[in-house]
Structure 1
Amino acid sequence: MAIHFDLAALDMLVTVAEMGSFTAASARLGRTQSAVSVRIQDLEAQLGQKLLERSRRGVTPTDAGERLIGHARRLLTVEREALDDLGGQAASGRLRVGVPDDYVDAYLRPLIARFAAEHPRVELELRCDLSKNIEPALAAGEFDLAVVTQDPKRPKGELLRREPMVWVAARGHRPELQETLPLALFSEGCRARPRILAALNAAGRAHRLVFSSSHTSGVISAVEAGFCVSAITESAVPHSLRRLGPADDLPPLFELSVGLIMGPQPGLAARRFAQALRDEMAAPRLAA
């Protein structure tokens, strides 16, 4: 006998994983918590595998759950596209997107023109801010969707991409040779900042903060001036900067997890923009 997926149950599974709790997911879905839990239990019984783990930190997918969620998102997207196509719908209205500005040039800029051409009735409103500010703003209804650097302790949303952090300095300048490393970093509240400082402290590398900015352009401009180094996402490195590493007495860094968070009951424009973003983020990036 053929086995078929219950798309409503898959939608519940994806929502629980994105929200990190059954309570928040049931509120978004407009269903009782017990109804959501039962449908996911039925899904686990059907597959013979545990899909979610509960802990004090919330609900997280198992390895099997992560794999199924990837398939589920594609199935749900196809379902929505079929319904939109048969319903003859065209995306329209205002689409509000929140995103840290270091992801704009790398990922959003290439797709904005295409999206605008394909959806001329959509008014796209883009607001840049720190991820820690974007998440509560989305929850408050200020955005329709958001791209964020996920909090490693409590990640929210759909994982789009892992973005390596790299050390950079200006070409023709050697600030990394100073005994106390001069640093340019994002302002306090940036999720990468404490991890960068922790890496330097763990390596015993003396450092001092000489410049901070809430925007990528500010940090890059300071580094291009030649008086400091910084750590930025690999996709944001311009040709004017060179990469540094262990040979420069700098510690290895980490990867940031880039996530997509959808508002409750996303409209057609939000769903189509999210899919365009998934496609763009999945594409390999060329080194600067």
Structure 2
Amino acid sequence: MRHFDTDSLETLVTIVDRGGFTAAGEALGKTQAAVSVIVSRMEARIGKRLLERSRKGVTPTFAGEILIGYARRILSLEDEALAAIGGDEAAGRVRLAVPDDFVDMMVSPLIGAFSRRFPRVQLEMRCDLSFRLEPMLERGEVDLAIITQDPARPLGEVLRREPRAWCAARDHRPELIDPLPLAMFPEGCRCRPDALAALDAMGRPWRIAYTSSHMPGIHSAVNAGMAITILGISSIPKEWRRLGEEEGFPELPLLDIALVVPANASVATKRFATFLRETVLQQEALAA
């Protein structure tokens, strides 16, 4: 038989989204052993390894990435079919958790279209740093989350790999100050460590001149000329300057922006997740 069963596909997706076999089993109501058996059977049938296990967690192989992409689409179509047959129009509340530097680039473009398509869904948004949002999702305080992936414990599906840049206000030159003044998100922000390590590696003295948990605070400090900052390029205001190698600033690693959707998500939550994926794909197609 050449068919995949959706239970196995859901198990595979949940392992990747939850970061491991045990967490996936808890989300799906299965034992870790049962989850392992499902994956082993899929790998035996396909003849390729789908997941790599390590101390850092579970990551998909190249074949696994391909299958997971199809699996998400198959599961989404299954939900749509069941909703269409049962007349299950999406309704209720969707509580989205997202760092506020991702709101304009990923959330704002879709909420109007989503609300028109699903007028019975109430949207709520919680903004905070990713390391605080993940526990909220685990405790059931929010329904889905957009996060910056933790390289040591990658959760969810990667929506976008976002380039980052050093940036400053157009009419100020804080990059000429020594030590270099920085406006940063607080400790725990996943963008901080490699940026600070890059400055240390090049021997550039720095100091944290300003800290804020939210984007408006970072904007205020940079616009006042207090400091430079680091943002994803989609979040940099058009009137700011980007600082690169010519100004003596090192290139930074890409930022992995991921979507985490629980296995037991509501119909409305799944619809929002699908809208978000489609919006990101459309943005990438227009940028190509």
Q: TM-score range by the shorter chain?
A: over 0.9
User: Partner of 1:187 in structure 2?
Assistant: 186
Partner of 2:154: 155
- TM-score of the two chains, using structure 1 as the length reference: 0.95
Q: For 1:107 and 1:21, how far apart are their aligned partners in 2?
A: 27
Change (3 A) 1:45 1:286: closer
Deviation by residue 1:201-257 (Cα, 9 ceiling, x = unmatched)? 111112122111111111122112223211111110111201110110111112111
Amino acid at match of 2:264: Q
Change (3 A) 1:133 1:285: farther
State the AA in 2 paired with 1:232.
Answer: L
- The equivalent of 1:123 in structure 2 is 122
CA displacement at 1:286 relative to structure 2: 7.9
The 1-side partners of 2:190 and 2:153 are apart by: 12
Quote the offset at 1:264 in angstroms. 4.0
Q: 8 Å contact 1:143–1:263 — kept in the other structure?
A: no
- SS of the aligned residue for 1:49 comes to coil
Runs of 4+ in structure 1 off by over 4 angstroms are none
Instruction: Report the secondary structure of 1:263's partner residue.
Output: coil
The alignment partner of 1:153 has SS state of: coil
The aligned runs of 1:84-233 (5 Å cut-off) are 84-233=83-232
Q: Is contact 2:14–2:263 with CA below 8 Å preserved after alignment?
A: no
For 2:248, the equivalent position in structure 1 comes to 249
The 2-side partners of 1:60 and 1:251 are apart by: 28
User: Which residue is 1:63 aligned to?
Assistant: 62
Note the aligned Cα RMSD (angstroms). Answer: 1.6
The AA in structure 1 aligned to 2:194 is R
Q: Closer, same or farther in 2 for the Cα pair 1:80/1:103, shift >3 Å? A: same
Q: 1:170 offset after TM fit, Å?
A: 0.9
Q: Which runs of 5+ in 1 are unaligned?
A: none
1:14 corresponds to: 13
CA distance in 1, matches of 2:166, 2:286: 17
The Cα of 1:20 is off from its aligned counterpart by 1.8
Looking at structure 2, the residues matched to 24 and 210 of structure 1 have their Cα atoms a distance apart, in angstroms, of 39
Instruction: Mark the runs of 5 or more structure 2 residues left unpaired by the alignment.
Output: none
**What amino acid sits opposite 2:176 in the alignment?**
L
**Between Structure 1 and Structure 2, how many residues are aligned?**
286
The answer as to 2:73 corresponding to 1:77 is no
Are the aligned partners of 1:170 and 1:223 in contact in 2 as well (CA < 8 Å)? yes
Q: Are residue 35 (structure 1) and residue 60 (structure 2) matched?
A: no
1:111 and 1:248 map into 2 onto residues whose CA distance is: 36
AA of the residue aligned to 2:84: D
| Counterpart residue type for residue 61 of structure 1 | P
> 2: distance between equivalents of 1:221 and 1:206?
23
Deviation, 1:285, is 8.7
Question: Which residue does the alignment assign to 1:277?
Answer: 276
